[in-house]
C-alpha cells in the first residue's frame, strides 16, 4: 500500500466514523425532543407540596430565596433505576444551585425520607405520592428535569438521565442569558 492510498483509506474511515457519530447524535436529539414534546414551556406551572420533613414549599418560595438565580426542578422516583444512577448528579448540583426535587409515586414522606437517608443524599424532596404534581407539569416519566429561570420561565426540559455537567451548563446558561 502506498502512502497516498493509506492516507486516502484513513480519510475515508474518518469520514465514515464522523457520519456515524453525527447520525447517532441526531437520533439522540430527536428522541429527546420527542420525549419532551408535551412538557410545559414558558411560565412554569404552579408547584407546591410538602417536603419529607413536613415543611410546605413551592417553586415560588424557592425562586424568591434564589435571588434571581435559576432553579433546577427534578422529578424522580425511588423505584426508578435511571433516577438512582443520576441521583449523585442531582445531589452535587443541589449543593451549589437552588433545587426543588419531587419524588413521584414513591410512597409517603417516611418512605422517601428513608430512601434519601439510605442513599446519603443531601437534597430534600416534595412528596408526590399520587402523581398529581407530576401530572400538573405533564411529566409522564422519570427522571424529568426543568431549568426555571429567575423570572419563573422554563428555559430547558430534559427527560432521562442528566449529567452533572449538563445540568450545570443549563443552569449557567439560564442565569447568563436570561431574557
Rounded average pLDDT per 10-residue block, the chain, 179 residues: 81 90 87 82 96 97 96 98 97 98 97 97 96 96 96 95 96 87
Note the pLDDT of residue 27. Answer: 87
Note the pLDDT of residue 179. Answer: 57
Note the pLDDT of residue 116. Answer: 98
**Residue 12 shares a structural domain with residue 100:** no
Report d(CA 66, CA 68) in Å as an integer. Answer: 6
* Residue 66's CATH number: 3.40.30.10
Q: Which domain holds residue 18?
A: 1-35
**Residue 100 shares a structural domain with residue 61:** yes
Give yes or no for a contact between 44 and 152, defined as CB atoms under 8 angstroms apart.
Answer: yes
Q: Which residues, in sequence order, are CB contacts of 30 under 8 Å at separation 6+?
A: none
- Asked whether the bond before 143 is cis by omega within 30 degrees of 0, the reply is yes
Note the pLDDT of residue 31. Answer: 80
Note the pLDDT of residue 142. Answer: 95
**Global confidence as pTM:** 0.85
Note the pLDDT of residue 117. Answer: 97
**Residue 153 shares a structural domain with residue 99:** yes
Note the pLDDT of residue 28. Answer: 80
**What domain count does the chain have?**
2
Amino acid at each position: 500500500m502506498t502512502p497516498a492510498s493509506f492516507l486516502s483509506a484513513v480519510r475515508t474511515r474518518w469520514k465514515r466514523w464522523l457520519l456515524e457519530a453525527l447520525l447517532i447524535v441526531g437520533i439522540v436529539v430527536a428522541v429527546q425532543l420527542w420525549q419532551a414534546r408535551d412538557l410545559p414551556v414558558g411560565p412554569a406551572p404552579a408547584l407546591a407540596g410538602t417536603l419529607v420533613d413536613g415543611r410546605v414549599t413551592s417553586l415560588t418560595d424557592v425562586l424568591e430565596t434564589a435571588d434571581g438565580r435559576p432553579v433546577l426542578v427534578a422529578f424522580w422516583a425511588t423505584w426508578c433505576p435511571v433516577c438512582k444512577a443520576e441521583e449523585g448528579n442531582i445531589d452535587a448540583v443541589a449543593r451549589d444551585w437552588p433545587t426543588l426535587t419531587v419524588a413521584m409515586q414513591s410512597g409517603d414522606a417516611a418512605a422517601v425520607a428513608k430512601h434519601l437517608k439510605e442513599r446519603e443524599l443531601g437534597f430534600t424532596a416534595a412528596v408526590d405520592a399520587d402523581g398529581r404534581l407530576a401530572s400538573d407539569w405533564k411529566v409522564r416519566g422519570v427522571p424529568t428535569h426543568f431549568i426555571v429561570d429567575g423570572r419563573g420561565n422554563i428555559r430547558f426540559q430534559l427527560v432521562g438521565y442528566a449529567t452533572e455537567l449538563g445540568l450545570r451548563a443549563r443552569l449557567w446558561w439560564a442565569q447568563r442569558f436570561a431574557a
